């Protein structure tokens, strides 16, 4: 690996080891713990007192400077070591290591927050408050701003695409920012704005990929895909790797989706057909389960492949008034932060109990098989809880008959 590649992909743990803030053995132990608990290594290190919050904040700042090519890797490592050892800021440490050079402002404009600010998507105060929420929830900045209604899904996707264009030196940063700002002010696509400014729009093409196919199948949500894309751009990982690591979809499902996507590109499948296949394999957690699911596909080859509505347990709970929009929003943030399933987060927070989850899950099964309507599911679960009945007993009471799945 070249020094340039190492700088572009430097991880927090490697940076902490190189600067002498933690031992390699500790990093190995923390990595195992982070994988098991599905938590960022930074949170584990600070929680267990291995490093201070201030040192971790400086390490994250330095990682961004190195990846944005504002500092060489070796100089960044030395500056981080000096800053933490002598209680200096990063700028002070950098100036101390290079006293012969005039102090300069380290460019940080390539970061998403700076891009959103420069293009007018958010104010300085909104970015500042968003970063505080990032520290509290573990959510990426883009998703925090999207959840607060500060930026739209299209705007966030355009900003992430612009960030990649800047990192890849497609054009000068100021020109890319102008193109992004022009798209926002005129309410046109980033591709159109790029084309009008003589930049190949295909360089920013957000093609139909693995993430989009998983969303189309209902295996993951659009919010989860946006979160994965933002982490992909920050951590230099593939979208497939991020989706699997975050637990949005199982590794076998993601791997199979990659092959199914190839079949779309080769003209073997249409997108809606591929989505139906992914829907059938989305819960496969092993190769054997994946093979079993794929083996059943031939039995339904002649079935109509039109998309069917996807009903989520959380939506059933919300429609029945068992959880509020605010509770779902908070639980979703906690779920992403802790990388736990949303339903488990709702249960752990005592917002719903097992009986409620079981009833909602049963209603989802009936909805997925078109055996009842959404309004019937809402009435059934509410009535069942109020009268201490089962879902099937409630369906019988209303003359809807308890279906057999």
By the 8 A CB rule, do 372 and 311 touch?
no
Distance between CA atoms of residues 275 and 382, nearest Å: 32
305 in any annotated domain? no
Q: Supply the pLDDT for residue 180.
A: 92
Residue 121 pLDDT: 92
Q: Is residue 402 part of a domain?
A: no
Residues 74, 42 share a domain: yes
Residue 144 near residue 130 (C-beta atoms within 8 A) = yes
Total Cβ atoms within 10 A of residue 17: 18
- What's the rounded Cα separation, in Å, for the pair 339 and 324? 21
How far is 140 from 116, CA to CA, in rounded Å? 14
Final residue before a domain boundary, out of 64, 97, 130 = 97
What is the DSSP-derived secondary structure letter of residue 247? T
Q: Are 295 and 232 in contact (CB under 8 A)?
A: no
Whether residue 200 lies inside any domain: the answer is yes
Residue 102 included in any domain: no
Closest to 313 measured CA to CA, from 305, 323, 303: 323
- Same domain assignment for residues 91 and 13: yes
The total of structural domains in the chain comes to: 4
Cα–Cα distance, 294 to 331 (Å, whole number)? 33
CB of 10 within 8 A of CB of 69? Answer: no
Q: What is the pLDDT of residue 107?
A: 39
The tally of CA atoms less than 13 A away on the side-chain side of residue 198 is 2
Sign of the dihedral defined by the CA atoms of residues 320, 148, 351, 41, in that order = positive
Query: In which domain, by residue range, is 118 found?
Result: 112-204
- Is residue 324 located within the same domain as residue 393? yes
Question: Does residue 212 contact residue 225 with C-beta atoms inside 8 Å?
Answer: yes
Would you give the end-to-end CA distance of the chain in angstroms?
A: 55
pTM equals 0.41
The H or E element containing residue 380 is helix 374-386
Q: Distances from the Cα of 239 to the Cαs of 117, 164, 170, 216, 249, in angstroms?
A: 25, 14, 21, 16, 12
Give yes or no: residues 160 and 191 share one domain: yes
Residue 278 sits in the same domain as residue 332: no
pLDDT tens for the chain, residues 1 to 405: 466 566 667 788 888 999 999 998 988 888 777 666 556 777 778 877 888 888 888 888 888 778 766 678 888 899 999 999 999 988 888 888 875 444 333 333 447 888 898 999 999 888 888 888 776 666 678 878 877 888 887 788 888 888 878 877 888 889 999 999 998 888 888 888 988 999 887 776 556 788 888 888 888 877 678 778 777 776 667 889 888 887 888 888 888 898 888 888 777 777 778 888 888 888 777 777 777 766 655 444 444 444 456 678 888 998 888 888 878 878 787 777 677 788 888 888 888 899 999 999 888 888 877 788 888 888 888 888 888 888 888 887 777 755 454
Instruction: Please tell me whether residues 319 and 265 are part of one structural domain.
Output: no
175 shares a domain with 255? no
If asked whether residues 9 and 93 sit together in one domain, one would say yes
200 and 231 co-located in one domain? no
Q: Residue 122: left (phi > 0), alpha (psi -120 to 50), or beta?
A: beta
CA distance 354 to 360: 10
**Cα separation of 345 and 249, whole Å?**
17
* Chosen domain end from 266, 300, 334: 300
pLDDT of residue 2: 60
Is the CB of residue 175 less than 8 Å from the CB of residue 238? Answer: no
258 and 328 inside one domain = no
In a domain, 105, yes or no: no
User: How far is the C-alpha of 157 from the C-alpha of 106, rounded, in Å?
Assistant: 26
Answer whether residue 104 is part of any domain.
no
Q: What's the CA gap between 165 and 176, in Å, rounded?
A: 7
Same domain flag for 250 and 287: yes
Last residue of a domain, one of 57, 73, 97: 97
- Whether 22 and 69 map to the same domain: the answer is yes
Residue 182 inside a domain? The answer is yes
Contact 346, 352 (CB under 8 A): yes
- Per the domain annotation, does 195 fall within a domain? yes
């Amino acid at each position: 690996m070249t020094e340039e590649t190492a700088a572009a992909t430097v991880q927090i743990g490697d940076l902490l080891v190189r600067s002498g803030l933690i031992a390699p053995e500790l990093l190995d132990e923390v990595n195992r713990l982070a994988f098991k608990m599905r938590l960022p290594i930074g949170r584990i290190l600070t929680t267990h007192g291995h490093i201070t919050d201030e040192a971790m904040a400086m390490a994250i700042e330095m990682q961004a400077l190195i990846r944005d090519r504002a500092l060489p890797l070796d100089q960044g490592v030395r500056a981080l070591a000096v800053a933490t050892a002598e209680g200096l800021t990063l700028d002070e440490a950098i100036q101390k290591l290079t006293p012969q050079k005039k102090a300069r402002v380290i460019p940080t404009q390539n970061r998403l927050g700076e891009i959103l600010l420069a293009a007018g998507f958010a104010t300085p105060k909104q970015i500042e408050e968003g970063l505080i929420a990032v520290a509290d929830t573990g959510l990426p900045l883009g998703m925090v701003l999207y959840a607060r209604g500060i930026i739209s899904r299209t705007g966030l996707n355009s900003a992430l695409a612009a960030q990649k264009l800047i990192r890849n030196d497609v054009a000068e940063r100021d020109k890319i920012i102008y193109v992004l700002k022009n798209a926002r002010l005129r309410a046109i696509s980033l591709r159109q704005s790029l084309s009008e400014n003589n930049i190949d729009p295909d360089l920013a093409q957000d093609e139909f990929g693995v993430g989009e196919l998983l969303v189309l199948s209902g295996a993951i949500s659009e919010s989860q895909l946006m979160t994965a894309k933002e982490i992909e751009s920050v951590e230099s990982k593939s979208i497939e790797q991020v989706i699997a690591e975050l637990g949005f979809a199982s590794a076998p499902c993601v791997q199979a989706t990659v092959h199914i996507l190839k079949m779309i590109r080769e003209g073997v499948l249409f997108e809606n057909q591929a989505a139906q296949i992914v829907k059938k394999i989305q819960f496969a957690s092993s190769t054997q389960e994946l093979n079993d699911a794929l083996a059943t596909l031939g039995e339904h080859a002649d079935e109509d492949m039109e998309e069917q509505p996807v009903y989520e347990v959380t939506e059933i709970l919300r429609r029945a008034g068992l959880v509020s929009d605010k509770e779902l929003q908070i639980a979703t943030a906690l779920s992403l932060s802790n990388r736990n399933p949303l339903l488990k987060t709702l249960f752990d927070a005592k917002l719903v109990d097992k009986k409620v989850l079981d009833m909602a899950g049963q209603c989802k099964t009936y909805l997925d098989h078109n055996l009842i309507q959404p309004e019937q599911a809402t009435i059934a679960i509410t009535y069942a809880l109020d009268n201490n009945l089962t879902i099937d007993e409630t369906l019988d009471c209303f003359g809807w008959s308890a279906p057999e799945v």
